[in-house]
Amino acid sequence: MPYQDKNLQRALAILATHPDERDIAFQAGCVLVAKQKLSLQDEDDLEVLSILMTDKEHGFAVTRVEETARELREMQVIWMDAANVLKLDAAA
């Protein structure tokens, strides 16, 4: 990833707003930080994100996403198991 001064300036401008984990969201291949939409497909945006990841709030936000995904997967398993039981009952 090439270092570009404009990306550092963008990251510093975002950090200057003092975003906390409530200001960070994920949407369709993008990370929303302090009302800035950063695409995971854009090289410049990725560089900005890599700089932002040095801030602890961004690490907290990513951890929360990982925890949420784990919780959702656990819920999915419960309903998949229930569906399998219903299929077995219907087949019997």
Burial class of residue 57, CB neighbours in 10 A (0-12, 13-18, 19+) = middle
Which carries the bigger pLDDT value, residue 22 or residue 32?
32
With vertex at residue 21, the alpha carbon angle to CA 67 and CA 18, rounded to the nearest 5 degrees, is: 160
64 lies in which domain range?
Answer: 5-91
Q: How many CB atoms lie within 10 A of CB 61?
A: 23
Tell me what the mean pLDDT of segment 50-78 comes to: 87
Total tally of structural domains belonging to the chain: 1
Which carries the bigger pLDDT value, residue 81 or residue 10?
10
d(CA 3, CA 26): 24
d(CA 15, CA 18): 5
